[in-house]
Each structure stands twice: as structure tokens, then as C-alpha cells.
Structure 1
Amino acid sequence: MNFYNYLYQKRNLFYAFMILSLLTAGCDKDLLNTVPTDRLSENIFWKSQADAELAVNALYNDLDGAEIFYLDALTDIAHVNQPFAVDAYIEQGTYDASSSRLYNTWSNAYKGIGAVNYFLANVNKIEGSKNEALITQYISEARVLRAYQYIKLAYLFGKVPLVKTPLTLQEGREVQQAELVEIYDFIDKELEEAAAGLPNFYSGNDIGRITRWAALGLKARADLYAGRFAAAVKAAKLIIDSHQFELYPSYATLFSYAAENNKEVLLDKQFLENIYTQNVFSQLAPYSQQNGQSTYVPTKALVDSYVTSNGQVITDAADYDVKNPYKNRDPRLYHSVFLDGDQLPSGAIFHPAPNSGTADAVGSTYIASTTGFNIKKYIDKKDFSNPSKSGLNIILLRYAEVLLTFAEAKIEIGEIDESVYAAINQVRNSRNDVKLPNINAIGDSEQLRQLVRRERTVELAFEGLHLADIRRWKTAEKVVPGKVYGITYQNNKGETVVVEAASERRVFDPLKHYLWPIPQREINLNSNLRQNPNW
């Protein structure tokens, strides 16, 4: 294994080096005596508590960052904007086990798992004076980070190798896939045990580390994905009953620099402008904004999911105007999606209609949004001048998800009580800028199930969770296939027209697409791996 990882903790800006490089020099005997200057030797590492801290810090680099956005683009709520992009082939159903997206997702997850396994195998080598509680904390952080990767692998690929210790090259070529139930058992046990070794919160330089609540929040997520609803309720309730979290008062600024490290965030990946950066602005912003790439764009299907301001779905709302479809809607729509007339970070006004004559007009360039919508979350005007060097943190788990997980899991086990409505209503109307009507007792459990699913869809849009949702709900085969639609606008004849993304038609085969194929390169290296059904 040969890699290094960098990580800063946002408050003290240190770099951490992982020491997994054990390279020997070439044939020149003088080179064999050269002291490396670009890495640390294992012979001088694992000596102190500071070494353990540096090593565990490095593990955070393998958390997802800006790459979460592609996941939603493979669902009904977003779209891969350029048809020749590798993700577009997944959307179109023309991909196979050779896809670089699949391979990179797999290899990056196992890179993170391998780094944790190496850390756990070596951290106890440290001798002498050390804070045992702190070492236990570092071990717990590492176990949570490993479980995070297995949650992702399980819902994307199904049965995967469950690797818990460092492997030799030969062992890596012989591992076998674990049953899904074994993987979720492992995740569940890891997160529950790790939570016990973690503090509730951090302060100062340690803000951004894994907490007990992050471990329990991931456990609730994994249990929901696994259909272990009672366990999901239990984990989510521990967080709710702690009274340590609350929804950030402004949905509009929740994904901005102003809101970083607020009391809604349980887990994020932390960045620092110009030092440890991500490129969300350049990746998602409209084309007119410093050549924004519009890589992934919202769809009409998502926009139509937002209820009207009186809480009704648009198909039932008497005041819904098909010619003015974005008026009087759930405010989260306005804070999540760039709509016609919105002010852009540059100060210009967004006009995406094909006949608008602007740089953002549909069809003006292959980079402009093909639906006429652009993602607004994480587009902070502070990044306008340097869009590829953003320091904005990427939220991976927040309290709104915990509330909706609690509500959904309670519905699924038939425990529909006031706590379910309270959780949903808190998400719908407890922010200063999101005030939808309360929902009251709904006798039809299926109606309530659909309501909480819609809440998850709109509340958590563009946060990388919807693909897992439509897979576990088994609705992907209904909502994904077909054409991709966008904005409604008035053409030059005064007719109301809905944009249709040219030459785009999504495909989802329920016999195979609920799981990705195991990357072919992995199967070529390891004959013990078995391909997923119908691939």
C-alpha cells in the first residue's frame, strides 16, 4: 500500500502525514542509504501519542466531499448535464462493470478502509506516557470512519469484502464477499461500540472530529438502510432526547460560510479556503458565474416535489398556476434551486429560458444547464472570485436527517404517535425562513409514508442521500426512467413550454440496476469475487 493523506483540523491548520509508504530505493546502493525527506519512516513513527493524533487526523481525508453531488444526479431529482460525462452513462443505463465511476468509488472506499485498518493495527505500538482515554477516542474515531465507508459500499454494491485488518497483496487477491446482513451487523456493532468511546462535543482546535452523536447518527442511517427500523428509532431517539441539536434557523444560509459548525451539523468534511479546498462552486454554479460548469443540475421532478406554501402538493392545490409554477411554494425550493429572476453571486440576474439571450439560456452552450435549473446549495458568493479554491465545509450528516429517519422508521414499524408528527413538523416549520403548516393525525399510514419520503427528498436534496433512498424504497424503477424535463417558460409566441433535455432518456432496469456491478478490474484480480445478478 503506498499513499499519503493530508488533513487539517480547521481551527489549528496542521497537516497530518500518514506513514504507509515503505518504499525501497532502486539498485544504486547509495540510494539505499538515503534518508527520505518526503515521508516518515515506520521505524521512527508510532512512538508517541502525537503520532497517533497525526495518523488518525489523516484518516479524515477519505471522507466524501464534493463527490457527493453525483449520487443525486443518478436519480430523478438531478441530471448529469453533459451527455458524454462518465456519470451520464450510468444515468442512461449504458454503463457496465468497466465504469471508472464505479471503480473509483470502490477503490476510494477501500483506500479509506485500508488506512483505518493500518491505523488500528499499529496504534497500540505506542509505549510510555500516554492518555489511554485519548487513544481510545482515536480508535473510536477510526472505527466510525471505516463504518462510514462500509455503509456506502453496502447500498451501492451489496455484498462486498468485509476487510477488518491489513492485507498482504496475496490476501487481497483472495478475499471473499460477505453477506449483506454480516456487513450491516458489523457496521451496527462498530458504531455502537465506537460511540461509547467518543466525547459528546469538542471545542477549539478539535471541532470537526467524530463525536458520539455522529456515530449514533450514522448508525441510525445504516439501520434505516438495512430495514432495521426499531434500531434506527433507538439510535435517532438518543440524539433527539439529548437536546444537544437543533435546526439552524435559516435554511437559506445553512450551506454557507456563515453557518459553519452550527448546532444542526453532526458530521461534515472540513475545508479551508486556498489551503485544503474543494471546487463545489465551479462544479455546480451556472455557466455565467466564473465559467461555472453546471455539472449536475436539478430536474422538474424535484421542483414539482416541493409543496405549495399552504402545504399542498401541486396536483391538489387549487392556487397552483401552471403558467407561474414557482410562485407560493415551499421556501426550501427557493433556497435550493436557482430559479428565473434569482440574483446570482456576480450580482447579475439568472434568466435561463432558451429565448432569454443570456449566457445561462438553455441551449446557449453545452455547459449551460440543460434543464434551466441550477443547484443553489453551497453556492456562496464568497467563492465567486476563486471558485475552485472553496473552503466551505461539506455537510455529511445533520439533525434534519436524524428527525426524518426517526419519523420514517417509526412509521415503518407501525408506531405512529405524536413524536412522529413532532419530528416531521420540526423540519417543516421550525426555521425562520421555512414555515409550512403543521401536519396533524393522518389515519392512512401509506399517506404518511409518502409524506415523510417527500420531506426527505426536498429537505435533503443535493446532499448525496436520495440514491440510497430510492433504492431501499424500491421506487427507482418508477421514478428514474424516461425523459428529463426542466423549467416552464413562455416562448416567443406566448405559449407555456416545458424544457426537455435534448436526446436524454434515462434507463433503470429493476433486474440489475438496484446494485452496481462489482468493478471488473477487481474481479480480474480476485477470482473469488462474484458479480452481482444480471451483470
Structure 2
Amino acid sequence: MKLLKVYISVFCMCSLSVLLNSCDDFLKEEPLDMKSSDQFWKTKADAESGVNALYFGGVPYLHNTDVGGGWTPKATMWGGIVSGLYVDKRKDRTFTTASEGCNFNIESFDDIAMKYWHEFYKGISRANFVIANIPTMTGVLDEATINNYVAQGKFFRAYGYFWLVKEFGGVPYISEPYTSTEGMYKERLSAEEVYKKIEADLLDIVNGDALPNKTFYDNGCYVTRAMAQTLLAQVYLQWAGAPLNGGTDYYGKAAQMALKVINDSPHELIHPNGTTDDLSSAYNVIKTTKSSAEIIYAKEYNYSDYSVGNSYACRSIGADAFQWGVFHPGGDVLYNAYLPCDMLLNSYDPADIRGHEKQFFFREYTDAAGGTHTLNNAGNWAWFDENALISGHDGDYNMPVFRFAEVLLIAAEGLARTGHEDNAVGGAKYYLNQVRKRAGLMDETATGDNLVQAILTERLHELPLEFKIWDDIRRTRLYPEASTETGKLKWTALSSAQIQNKPDGSTRAGAIPEYALLWPIPLDEIQANPALEGHQNPGWN
């Protein structure tokens, strides 16, 4: 594993900052070194630094970006908080207050929209420099290395634009590195046009041989073929739903791309025949592993060796845990930044191991002296890092981004929505029930819309702390409500559904207007780019 690439990237960005930024404000970083473009892209070390930087900014950096400094929800959490299915219990940011109060106004959401916009385009800028300059280094790098580096650049460019189009709809598409302000202000392309460009980048690399068919960890934590295939499967799944409504064709494409990962990659579930509900369970291995083939992509951390730490632990447990006298987190703060609502916690079947204590969530902790402590609210065990919290520093656990279980569920949904429901190999229930079997559940037997709802429920139960729910709400325009059936959720039209925690502890019908499913275009960008003037997302004017 080369977490060293993340560590190096912090330093390589000093010399790359002039190169890897647009001159526009949304891409601005403070240059700490004046190495110019005609001095860079000359050596093998330059190329490695440029590629390593892809893993440091852009979409991966959402795990480090917060609302406005201090101990606040990370950017990964913002959609789930808007959904109301998760609550920021600290409540000291305008965004959180506005979301709970259903005050979807541009003043309250502009700051976080700008953080998204800036981070995505920063990552895209870095990718564009790699894609444009690496092919010129034929005297330094061999052909296979050039092709691999360009493929990594295309992966991260596609990844950045995928998040942009999900969050904002149509956006300016920039495919060349900027070294001056000339021609830098672009009009918004339609969302469909952006999706087509994302697809082109990903098809180019999944259909080629530049990326190895290895697991993420076996490949030193660099981009693999399965990573690109998984991203493209996610792209097709989102494209199939709202607002583009690509429908059957794209559900079919999502399923077929997911099946490539399932059938042709070295990835597999941990404990596929069923797991335990103790600290050796598959879900605890997912939390702690830095080697498992279930992980297709993870955000790397390693505080112990490189001081590049995971700060989710502080956000995994309520402030009442301070009273125990056990934990001394960095910054002296503990709080539930992303607390699942009771409706979600109570929706797990009693037999579902994922809902058991110390699998994804927990309420009790036993300290080294044998004292047992009970939390006022559930904590997120998937993020809890005992050593980090006791020692007062960030942790070492990686954060899963793509997992094989999600790929199985993408295949299941795509097949179910295209009429392939069988429980035999190649049918939707065959892949769905692999995920359920590991969790200790009986096979799903539903058909039609009930099967689709079962798959959506399984996505939420399997991936509750991996930030998938907001995308699912946006593409389906459905919202999960409590069901009278054990282990089920009732997916209801968003416009009339009972939305959780609007405000905290209450529900409110139809509390999320459709326009709030996209963020506003940042006001600073509209002011800076004449081509964006008059083109704000509807509802945010």
C-alpha cells in the first residue's frame, strides 16, 4: 500500500500549485513555490508527483472538507443532512439550521456550494494537467506508464464531473489545463452533455488495458480497472433516474458494467456465506481492513506513520461521552455530526447483523477498567476509533468509497428494473440475496416494484455511513418511510413523504422542494464568469 502518495502530495502541491490550478478563483491555491510550467513535466519524479496529487484534492478531499472550519459536518455528509435521515447534533452552522428549518435559500447554501464547486474543479484541473502533459514525456516514461498515468487522470476527471453534474446539473466543461485567463470562461453544458463526456472518459479506460485488473490494495492503492468500472456503473445508475430519466437502457448499462466487476475482477465479499455479529464480523473487517478484496476504492489514512489522519472518529459519538473521562480527542470535541434518525435505526430486521451492537452503530462502550458506559444517542461504530480518541489524535482507518457489496446491489437494481428478477445466476435476486445472506437474512422473494423497493432498502441498510442515500433520493425522487413490515422501508414520492428531522425530532410532509435536490451555482462564480450570468439553478434565485 502506498499511502505515501498522499503524504507526498501535500508537499508536491507546493511545486505544482502554479501548474495544477486554473487562474479562476474557484481553482485558486496559494503558490508556495514558483516552479514554472516549462520547468515541470521533465522528470519521472515530476510525473509521479502530478499523478499522486490526483488522490489529494478533488472528490477524495470531500472527506477532509467541512462547512466552515472547526468541528462541523464533512462535505461527504451534507446531502444526508439535507435529507433529514441524519442529524448534525452540534447545530452551530447556518447550513444545518437552514436545512432543518426548510429554509432553502441561496444565502444559507451558497458557502457550501462554493466549497463543492472549488474542490471538484481543483481536482479536474489537476487531472487535465496529467492528461495533457504525461503523453509528452516519451523520453522519460515508457508507453505503458504513460498510458496508465493518463488513465488515472481520466478516472479522476470523470469522477470530478460526475459529482459536479449530480450536485449542480449542467456545468462548464473544461478539458484542457489553463495557463492563462484566455478562453477560460465557459458556458454551462447540459447535464446530458456532461454525462456523455464522463462516459467517454470512462469507456476509454475500461475498454483499454492501461489499468490493472487487481484489487485496490494489491495495486498499491492506485486506480484499477474495477474502480473505473464501478464508477461507470454508478454513472449509468444515476443517469437512468431523475432528472435525465435515461430509463431502461441505462439501468441495463449499469447492470452490465456492475457484472463486469462481479464476473471478471478479483473482488469479493468478506464472509460471503454469512458472518458473525461480534468484533470479527465482516462489517468490523470492512472498518479496519487495509487489504480486503471487498474494498474497491478507499480514502487512505495513516496517522501513525505519516500524520495523515482520519478525523471521522470525533464525529462518531455524542458529547455525553466526555463525562466518562476516557476520551481526549484532537481538538477536545466529540459530537454526532451525522447521527442516523431513529426511523432508520429501527428499520433493521432483528435478525439483521448490521443493526446489531458494534456493527455499524453502537450504544455501549466498555473501558479498559471494565466500566460500561451508555450513550444518550447511538454512535457510528463504523467510524469509532478507540485508540485515536483515547490518545487525542486522528485515526488510521481508511474510509470505504466503493465496495463490492454496492456493486452487487447496482447489478440487482439494474436487472430488476429491466425485467430480470430471477434468483438464479444472472437475475436481480441472485445478487441482492448475496448481500442479505451475509447479513443473516432470508432470501428476498418480492417481485416488481416491491423488489425495487427491497433493493433500495438494502442499499440504505448496507451503506448507511457511506453517503449514498442523497444520490438515491435524487435519482428516484423517493424517500424512505417507516413500514409496518419488519426489516422493510416504504419508499414514498418525495413531494409527499414524511421527511425526518424537519426540525430535529419532528417530521414534515413534503419538506424538501424539488429544486433543493441541486445546489445553487455559487454566486462568486456567477459574478466571475459572464457566461453564467442569468443561469442560476431554478428555485435559488
TM bucket, shorter chain = 0.7 to 0.9
Distance 1:511 1:338, change over 3 A: closer
Deviation digits for residues 483-515 of structure 1 (CA, Å, limit 9, x no counterpart): 539xxxxxxxxxxxxxx9468979734341121
> What SS does the corresponding residue of 1:397 show, helix, strand or coil?
strand
Unaligned runs of 5+ in 1: 1-7, 24-35, 310-328, 353-360, 362-371, 486-499
Question: Which among 125, 143, 146 is matched to residue 114 of structure 1?
Answer: 125
Question: Which among 399, 413, 421 is matched to residue 418 of structure 2?
Answer: 413
Q: Distance in 1 between matches of 2:257 and 2:449?
A: 24
Is 1:378 the counterpart of 2:383 in the alignment? yes
Question: Which among 443, 448, 453 is matched to residue 445 of structure 1?
Answer: 448
What's the offset of the Cα at 1:238? 0.5
Indicate conservation of the 8 Å contact 1:229/1:412, yes or no.
Answer: yes
Is 1:20 the counterpart of 2:7 in the alignment? no
Is 1:283 the counterpart of 2:305 in the alignment? no
Q: Distance in 2 between matches of 1:479 and 1:457?
A: 20
Q: Distance in 1 between matches of 2:509 and 2:384?
A: 27
Identical columns (%)? 26
Q: Distance in 1 between matches of 2:474 and 2:379?
A: 25
> What SS does the corresponding residue of 2:402 show, helix, strand or coil?
strand
Correspondence for 1:484: 501
> What SS does the corresponding residue of 1:295 show, helix, strand or coil?
coil
What's the offset of the Cα at 1:279? 0.7
Deviation digits for residues 45-101 of structure 1 (CA, Å, limit 9, x no counterpart): 211233212210111112142532333222243112233324412343324334311
Asked which structure has the greater CA Rg, the reply is 1
Distance 1:402 1:248, change over 3 A: same
Question: Which among 291, 308, 317 is matched to residue 261 of structure 1?
Answer: 291
Indicate conservation of the 8 Å contact 1:48/1:127, yes or no.
Answer: no
Deviation digits for residues 375-404 of structure 1 (CA, Å, limit 9, x no counterpart): 221212232234542222111101001000
Is 1:293 the counterpart of 2:331 in the alignment? no
Is 1:303 the counterpart of 2:345 in the alignment? yes
Unaligned runs of 5+ in 2: 20-30, 65-73, 241-249, 272-280, 322-326, 480-493
Question: Which among 224, 232, 241 is matched to residue 237 of structure 2?
Answer: 224
Paired residues for 1:99-178 under 5 Å = 99-167=110-178, 170-171=181-182, 174-178=185-189
Indicate conservation of the 8 Å contact 1:96/1:517, yes or no.
Answer: no
Q: Distance in 2 between matches of 1:483 and 1:438?
A: 29
Correspondence for 1:497: none
What's the offset of the Cα at 1:125? 2.9
Question: Which among 460, 464, 475 is matched to residue 461 of structure 1?
Answer: 464
Q: Which amino acid aligns with 2:227?
A: A
> 56-65 or 94-103: which moved more?
94-103
Q: Distance in 1 between matches of 2:369 and 2:361?
A: 13
> What SS does the corresponding residue of 2:415 show, helix, strand or coil?
helix
Is 1:211 the counterpart of 2:224 in the alignment? yes
Q: Distance in 1 between matches of 2:6 and 2:525?
A: 37
Distance 1:425 1:251, change over 3 A: same
What's the offset of the Cα at 1:124? 2.6
Question: Which among 3, 25, 37 is matched to residue 10 of structure 1?
Answer: 3
What's the offset of the Cα at 1:206? 4.8
> What SS does the corresponding residue of 1:226 show, helix, strand or coil?
helix
Q: Distance in 2 between matches of 1:164 and 1:468?
A: 25
Paired residues for 1:387-402 under 5 Å = 387-402=392-407
Q: Distance in 2 between matches of 1:305 and 1:408?
A: 20
What's the offset of the Cα at 1:177? 0.9
Correspondence for 1:351: 374
What's the offset of the Cα at 1:473? 0.9
Indicate conservation of the 8 Å contact 2:498/2:507, yes or no.
Answer: no
Deviation digits for residues 433-457 of structure 1 (CA, Å, limit 9, x no counterpart): x2111223x3x30110110000001
What's the offset of the Cα at 1:182? 1.1
Indicate conservation of the 8 Å contact 1:251/1:335, yes or no.
Answer: no
Q: Distance in 2 between matches of 1:21 and 1:526?
A: 22
> What SS does the corresponding residue of 2:400 show, helix, strand or coil?
strand
Q: Distance in 2 between matches of 1:215 and 1:184?
A: 15
Correspondence for 1:29: none
> What SS does the corresponding residue of 1:9 show, helix, strand or coil?
coil
Paired residues for 1:183-194 under 5 Å = 183-194=194-205
> 291-300 or 136-145: which moved more?
291-300
Correspondence for 2:517: 514
Distance 1:333 1:71, change over 3 A: farther
Q: Distance in 1 between matches of 2:40 and 2:184?
A: 29
Paired residues for 1:425-444 under 5 Å = 425-430=433-438, 434-440=439-445, 442=446, 444=447
Q: Which amino acid aligns with 1:459?
A: E
What's the offset of the Cα at 1:109? 0.6
Which structure exhibits the higher relative contact order, with contacts defined as CA atoms closer than 8 Å and separated by 6 or more residues? 1
Correspondence for 1:59: 54
Question: Which among 260, 266, 275 is matched to residue 238 of structure 1?
Answer: 260
> What SS does the corresponding residue of 2:501 show, helix, strand or coil?
strand
> What SS does the corresponding residue of 1:351 show, helix, strand or coil?
strand
Distance 1:295 1:416, change over 3 A: same
Q: Distance in 2 between matches of 1:237 and 1:77?
A: 30
What's the offset of the Cα at 1:113? 0.6
> What SS does the corresponding residue of 1:122 show, helix, strand or coil?
helix
Q: Distance in 1 between matches of 2:342 and 2:153?
A: 40
Q: Distance in 1 between matches of 2:154 and 2:347?
A: 37
Paired residues for 1:488-507 under 5 Å = 501=504
Indicate conservation of the 8 Å contact 2:230/2:261, yes or no.
Answer: yes
Indicate conservation of the 8 Å contact 1:407/1:424, yes or no.
Answer: yes
Indicate conservation of the 8 Å contact 1:256/1:378, yes or no.
Answer: yes
Correspondence for 2:245: none
Q: Which amino acid aligns with 1:150?
A: Y
Distance 1:92 1:348, change over 3 A: farther
Q: Distance in 1 between matches of 2:94 and 2:286?
A: 27
Correspondence for 1:496: none
Distance 1:407 1:76, change over 3 A: farther
Deviation digits for residues 301-345 of structure 1 (CA, Å, limit 9, x no counterpart): 211321232xxxxxxxxxxxxxxxxxxx54345345544445479
Indicate conservation of the 8 Å contact 1:76/1:302, yes or no.
Answer: no
Indicate conservation of the 8 Å contact 1:74/1:80, yes or no.
Answer: no
Q: What TM-score do you get using the length of structure 1 for normalisation?
A: 0.78
Indicate conservation of the 8 Å contact 1:79/1:297, yes or no.
Answer: yes
Distance 1:173 1:44, change over 3 A: closer
Deviation digits for residues 25-45 of structure 1 (CA, Å, limit 9, x no counterpart): xxxxxxxxxxx9856443432
Q: Distance in 1 between matches of 2:371 and 2:239?
A: 46
Is 1:70 the counterpart of 2:78 in the alignment? yes
Distance 1:308 1:204, change over 3 A: closer
Q: Distance in 1 between matches of 2:257 and 2:303?
A: 35
Q: Which amino acid aligns with 1:395?
A: P
Distance 1:176 1:390, change over 3 A: same
Indicate conservation of the 8 Å contact 1:515/1:532, yes or no.
Answer: yes
Distance 1:113 1:508, change over 3 A: farther
Indicate conservation of the 8 Å contact 1:73/1:297, yes or no.
Answer: no
Q: Which amino acid aligns with 1:56?
A: V
